[in-house]
Amino acid sequence: TTWGQNGYSYTVTVKGMEDTILLLGHHYADKQYVVDTAQTDASGKAVFSGDKPLPGGVYLIVMPRLANKYFELIVDEPSFSITTDASDITGKMVIEGSEENQLMYEDLRFIAAQRQKVDRINKELETLDAGDSKRTQLEAERININDSVLAWRARIFEQYPDAFYTKMLKAAQDVVVPEAPVKADGTTDKYFGYYYVRQHFFDDIDLQDPRLIRTNIVPGKLERYFEYYVPKVPDSVIVAVDKVAQLAKGNNDMFQYIIVTLLNKYATSDIMGMDAVFVHIVDTYYKTGDAFWLDDAGLFRITHSADMMRPTLIGKRAPNIFLQDTADRDIPLYAINSDYTIILFWDVDCSHCKKDLPKIEAAYPQLKEMGAEIYAVYSQEEWDKWENWLREHQYGWVNVGNKKLKSNFQVIYNVNQTPIILIIDKEKNIIARKIGADQLVDFLQRYKETHEK
């Protein structure tokens, strides 16, 4: 047939789905999209067809009549037909013309049968006493079942090395860690497994395969890698981002998904310093023209955010700002002559500030002892309100505001909310940004231990 060269035709017959609608959709990372609809006849048969081929991946046949219950099919061939029964989809699945689906459903049936056996054993184990001799026998059976699954999967990998289903199974499984090598003194490195997994995490996840984005495998893997195998330090995260981006570069859908996911993850991270990761992603992938999915307005919005963050990232020298106290005297930031300056942007009416100010006030004597002064910047311009609040609370630290209306501190320090707290050292370098009020003492203690030798 001629359509086979450039179109698709899938015949799907589901007993119990007569005279109704079936939908054809596909996974796309962590979402699902519908791409086609077909009407079944009196025997439950529907034909999905189109004149352009469908991109490969894991597709779903959705049954609206059964509250959108669905089953999966691999689309990687231009045509095939499947027949099954709505009451037992996996068990009754018959496939013609598709090696991929044949392989997947054989595997699903085998795994389901083993799972049933394990469930039966687990139920029986629950009824037995701890010392019952039958426990040993059942536990051995359970280990055997597990071994048989591993052997079954190994056979699939060996017999069908080029199948997309094999690629999916390999991508989905955990990294297999070999025995840790024994060191000269007879011990093993207890971190060997962690470093091994970290190094080999993506060995079996082919981010160059355009079909893999149309499965639900990648989101969990990405999340797991960055949560458990990347130290939560900006420099380490930046190296990991570039490594993964490089693995996907050229595979447009995958590359876009990875860059956008990581950008959003680090734009909203609660971990201090991760705004540097956001800025790095923008500089490396958005400003260079790699973000082909954005129009100029979208690109401007994101690059502007990064440019606002850039001057006050950790490690940068804090820009001087010129503000005034309640008596209109100039007190620039750089006039504070202490080992550490805690810069606090706050507002009388902000509810978070009302929670944080008492904590900071309680910690202030200890912070002073550690060589820190507080430079508290009132972020609004309602001067009476500010002065009344200060009269009432009598904080011992330096209180300033933009009374001459000459400072652009909101832009310079990217004050888009309150409270925002930064810490700078004697040389006015930023050592902490967006740190919590209750972390100040701990942070300074740790910082002094590691930096004051």
> So where are the chain's domains?
3-97, 103-171, 192-312, 322-451
Confidence of residue 5 (pLDDT cuts 50, 70, 90): low
C-alpha dihedral (115, 118, 123, 129), degrees to nearest 10:
-170
Mean of the pLDDT values across residues 110-115? 97
372-378 and 340-346: which strand pairing? parallel
With cut-offs at 50, 70 and 90, classify the pLDDT of residue 1: very low
Is 128's pLDDT higher than 90?
Answer: no
Burial category of 222 from C-beta neighbours within 10 Å (exposed 0-12, middle 13-18, buried 19 and up): buried
Question: Which tokens belong to 145?
Answer: 């079942």
Q: Read off φ and ψ for residue 398, nearest 5 degrees.
A: -80, 120
At residue 76, φ and ψ (nearest 5 deg) are -150, 0
Please compute the mean of the pLDDT values over residues 112-128 and round it to a whole number. Answer: 93
pLDDT of residue 129: 84
Q: What is the mean pLDDT of residues 303-319?
A: 95
Report the alpha-carbon distance of residue 151 to residue 72 in Å, rounded.
24
Structural class in CATH, domain 3-97 = mainly beta
3 has a pLDDT exceeding 50: no
**Residues 184-230: pLDDT tens digits?**
888 888 999 999 999 999 999 999 999 999 999 999 999 999 999 99
CA distance 300 to 415: 19
Topology adopted by domain 322-451: Glutaredoxin (3.40.30)
Summarize the confidence of residues 94-103 as an average pLDDT.
97
Cβ–Cβ < 8 Å for 401, 323? yes
Q: For residues 5 and 184, which has the higher predicted lDDT (pLDDT)?
A: 184
Nearest to 45 by CA among 70, 18, 7, 63: 18
Can you give the pLDDT at residue 270?
A: 85
Answer whether 399's CB lies under 8 Å from 325's CB.
Answer: yes
CA distance 190 to 99: 43
- 439, 353 contact by CB (below 8 A): no
* Mean pLDDT score, 143-171: 97
- Whether 308 shows a pLDDT value over 80: the answer reads yes
State mean pLDDT over 243-253: 97
pLDDT at 4 over 80: no
State pLDDT tens for residues 361-386. 999 999 999 999 999 999 999 999 99
Secondary structure, 3-state, the chain: CCHHHHCEEEEEEEECCCCCEEEEEEEECCEEEEEEEEECCCCCEEEEEECCCCCCEEEEEEEHHHCCEEEEEEECCCEEEEEEECCCCCCCCEEECCHHHHHHHHHHHHHHHHHHHHHHHHHHHHHCCCCCHHHHHHHHHHHHHHHHHHHHHHHHHHHCCCCHHHHHHHHHCCCCCCCCCECCCCCECCCHHHHHHHHHCCCCCCCCCHHHHHCCHHHHHHHHHHHHCCCCCHHHHHHHHHHHHHHHCCCHHHHHHHHHHHHHHHHCCCCCCCHHHHHHHHHHHHCCCCCCCCCHHHHHHHHHHHHHHHHHCCCCECCCCEEECCCCCEEEHHHCCCCEEEEEEECCCCHHHHHHHHHHHHHHHHHHHCCEEEEEEECCCCHHHHHHHHHHHCCCCEEEECCCCCCCHHHHCCCCCCCEEEEEECCCEEEEECCCHHHHHHHHHHHHHHHCC
Query: What Rg value do the Cα atoms of the chain yield, rounded?
Result: 30
> pTM of the full predicted structure?
0.88
pLDDT of residue 208: 98
Do 228 and 267 contact (CB within 8 A), yes or no?
no
Q: Average pLDDT, whole number, for the chain?
A: 95
